[in-house]
Structure 1
Amino acid sequence: MAKVIILTGDAAETLEVFYPYQRLREAGYDVHIAAPEKKKLQFVVHDFVEGFDTYTEKPGHTWDADIAFRDVDPADYVAAVVPGGRAPEFIRNDEDAKRIVRYFFDHDAPVAALCHGPMLLAAAGVLQGRTSSAYPELKVDVELGGGIFENGGAVVDGNLVSGRAWPDHPEWMRAFMAVLEARA
């Protein structure tokens, strides 16, 4: 069974971890969650409240990480997923997380990134000249990482499929599954 890795950590958006996790398992992939440490992760729920300029954050589900970044051999996986939430803010500083991301881009393997996920891609140096979506307020982060920002729900640039946030799940995962199956 082919394996897919999800790169995340504490404060990841619950929906953005669980939707690809379950969709990929439904399609027959063995999905592993990697984090800075192999431990129980605390996810969060982001939602919009009338009158607020940005989203609010509440505690979400907990889930065990299967493997620490340092123990990941990316050659064991056919694709990677980088969900959003606040986790990408801190995992982008993890050298092993960046190593894993670079592997997938160096090997033209499928990568799905959503919401704040492109922050890790920018830190890994793989967005140079690439078109990527992200949470719209991260346009500057995509551009500072050398990328071209596109405000879309399923932006495909070669092996990279990106979207804005969890409301884009159907379009984002449909496009990612098509890239994944085409490269299988």
Structure 2
Amino acid sequence: MSSKKILIITGDAGESFEVLYAKQRMIEAGHLPVIAAPAVKRMNLVIHDFEPGWDTYKESPGYQVMSDVDFDHVASQDYDAVICIGGRAPEYLRNDARVIRLVQEFNVQGKYIFAICHGIQILVTAGLVENKNITCYEHVKFEVTSCGGTYIKDQEAVQDGKIITGQTWQSHPEFYRLVMQSLA
């Protein structure tokens, strides 16, 4: 397997476990992960957990992780694939024209696009879910179906062409199994 350069898109309020697992899993597999954010800085990540009795996830402060590059200094042609991380970061990153342009460029270039949890919100805004089978955090389902995607509830991870999606950090085993197969 040849080494690949993987762009990881996140920002403040990105899901800690998803960011750290993506970075470490890529390194473990011999790939070069590069974390891109709105600015090069120590990001404040969050931890989302599912507690009995809660109607949704609960949020706690997470780890601080340094980004490697800002969106202005990312060229899609320099990367082999992109991962859109979940957490709350996609709520504002999907409004960042630089992020949407990058993800659309990966699509046009026929490269793999991976998204997990709320990271799918970026794919929705980029116009990449229409006529696609997509899984995601259940509260993002409406956005997927409203934009012409088919929500797959009963699978932790789904591949449709070069787009691979996962539900939550609890889906890491299934999600990264598909991700690693695609990078082989």
TM superposition score category, shorter chain reference: over 0.9
The gaps in structure 2 that reach 5 residues or longer are: none
Residue 168 (structure 2) aligns with:
165
Q: Which amino acid aligns with 2:30?
A: G
Shift of 1:5: 0.3
How many Å separate the matches in 2 of 1:61 and 1:21?
13
How many Å separate the matches in 1 of 2:179 and 2:52?
32
Q: Using the TM superposition, name which of 48-57 and 69-78 deviates more.
A: 48-57
How many Å separate the matches in 1 of 2:143 and 2:16?
22
Runs of 4+ in 1 over 2 A off after TM superposition: none
Residue 140 (structure 1) aligns with:
142
Q: Does the aligned pair in 1 maintain the 2:4–2:183 contact within 8 Å? A: no
Residue 180 (structure 2) aligns with:
177
Residues 76-126 of structure 1: CA distance to partner in whole angstroms, max 9, x if unpaired?
000000111000000000000001100111122111110001100111111
Q: Does 1:18 align with 2:23?
A: no
For 1:1-184, what aligned pairs fall within 5 Å after superposition?
1-151=3-153, 152-181=155-184
- The count of corresponding residues between Structure 1 and Structure 2 is 181
SS at match of 2:86: coil
Residues 49-83 of structure 1: CA distance to partner in whole angstroms, max 9, x if unpaired?
22211111000000111111121001000000011
Q: Does the aligned pair in 2 maintain the 1:122–1:146 contact within 8 Å? A: no
How many Å separate the matches in 2 of 1:84 and 1:145?
19
TM-score by length of 1: 0.95
The gaps in structure 1 that reach 5 residues or longer are: none
Shift of 1:47: 0.9
CA RMSD after TM alignment: 1.0
Of all paired residues, the percent bearing the same amino acid is: 40
